[in-house]
A and B are shown apart, each in its own frame.
Chain A
Amino acid sequence: MTISVGYSIAIIAVCVVCTFLERALPFLLFGGREVPKIVKYLGRILPMAVMATLVVYCLRSTTFDAMGNFLPQIIAVAVVAALHLWRKNTFLSIVVGTAVYMVLVQLVF
């Protein structure tokens, strides 16, 4: 440890407060009253947009300078998507897709 225990705890405390405040913000703003129509609309339309953003977020470090930096991701995502469209089994899609990805990054590329 290069800093004191007290300062370490202060860092944790600041991160706890900031994280909680962001998670609580919509509830603080709209929790006690009728939710505005535009916010209701966003609440229903956002999950699909956020999930798509999270997929992009997970793949953000992909680069196209070498095959090993993009082919494993593309192949594994395609396997997950195809398997899930075909069998509709969440667990199967994730386990097989992850196994394919691990084989690709560890053994192939």
Chain B
Amino acid sequence: MKQTFLYAFRRTVPIMLGFFPLGLAYGVLMESIGYNFLWSTLTSLTVLAGSLQFLMVEFFVNGTPLITVALLALLLNSRHIFYGISFVERFRSFGSGSRLFLIYSLSDESYSLHCAHKPQEGVDEKWAHLFSAGFVLFYWLVFTFMGGLVGQLITFDTTGIDFSLTALFVVILIDQLREAKTMLPAAIAVVSGIVCILLFGAANFILPSLLITVAVLCLLRPRLEQYTVEEEVAA
């Protein structure tokens, strides 16, 4: 168990780096519109979705109608619909409490860690997922709390430190490409992403881009299926 805990800590350190400026910025921003650290921590604990939480600042300031809030929240986080698809079977044996926690905490960062996890000696699979998602949640809570409480006191320039999240995604993608027998899914996603940014703008591209990617991957299934290994057969 201790080994699993350390494994989860080591792999979440890059996320700690990335969340430091984001969490602080969020806490400071909330404080500046009159919502103290209790509000920012409560929102981080319950919503646990960075980009939506920044958008919620607009909702608080403008008193946005709840129906608009719901629509924008659904649209902004629509990419999350695709995350669970890869884990329906793996999480099935985990018990309902663990599964609920893993679903609630399924952010971009936790999802990336779940994807990157490989079974290894001395590391319990279920607890590796739970601890990793737990650390991600913990960092987010601590840094938004700090941001709301003492954010103004931090004076050194952290501009650009949020690149660590970009770097994390790049690293995981490279590991996936190294192991995969085809790079086509990544190529399709990048082309679709760039085309959708040009068509719909940078703010709205991700849902159409993912829908097109899923559609193309379904069309290419006869060709691509051979490259995906059935876990049951592979063992």
> What does DSSP make chain A's interface, helix, strand, loop or mixed?
helix
13 contacts between A and B (CB under 8 A): A12-B42, A12-B47, A19-B77, A26-B85, A31-B88, A46-B214, A46-B217, A52-B193, A53-B79, A56-B209, A60-B197, A61-B202, A73-B166
A98:B161 contact, CB within 8 angstroms: yes
Q: Taking beta carbons and an 8 Å cutoff, which residues of B are in contact with A?
A: 10-11, 13-14, 17, 33-35, 39, 42-43, 46-49, 52, 56, 59-64, 66, 69-70, 73-74, 77-89, 91-92, 99, 103-104, 106, 108, 111-112, 115, 157, 159-161, 163-178, 180, 185-190, 192-194, 197, 202, 205-206, 209-210, 213-214, 217-218, 221, 224-225, 227-229
A91–B81 CA distance with the chains assembled, in angstroms = 29
Check if A85 sits within 8 Å of B79, measured CB to CB: no
Given contacts A17-B70, A98-B161, 5 further A-B contacts (CB under 8 A): A46-B82, A48-B186, A81-B174, A84-B175, A93-B170
Question: Are B104 and A80 in touch, CB under 8 angstroms?
Answer: no
> With A3-B63, A11-B59 given, is the CB distance from A45 to B185 under 8 Å?
yes
**In the complex the two chains form, is A18's CB within 8 Å of B159's CB?**
no
Asked if A58 is at the interface (CB within 8 A of a chain B CB), the reply is yes
User: Could you say which residues of chain B place their CB within 8 Å of the CB of A18?
Assistant: 70, 73-74, 77
| Residues of chain A at interface, number, CB under 8 A | 68
B81 touches A56 (CB 8 A): no
CA distance A79 to B136 in the complex (A): 25
1/0 per residue, CB under 8 A from B, across A58-92: the answer is 11110000000000110011001100110000110
Q: Footprint of B on A, CB under 8 Å? A: 1-3, 7-8, 10-12, 14-20, 22-27, 30-31, 35, 38-61, 72-73, 76-77, 80-81, 84-85, 90-91, 93-95, 97-98, 101-102, 104-106
Complex CA gap A76/B188 in Å reads 23
Tell which of B10, B160, B213 touches A53, judged by Cβ atoms closer than 8 Å.
B213
Nearest Cβ in chain A — how far from B48, in angstroms?
7
State whether A47 touches B84 (Cβ < 8 A). Answer: no
Interface residue SS majority, chain B: helix
Q: In the complex, what's the smallest C-beta–C-beta distance from A31 to chain B, in angstroms?
A: 6
Q: A15 to B210, alpha carbons, bound, how many Å? A: 22
Cα distance A25–B228 in the bound complex, in angstroms: 24
Q: B80 to A98, Cβ gap below 8 A? A: no
| In the complex, chain B residues whose CB is within 8 Å of the CB of A55 | 166, 169-170, 173, 190
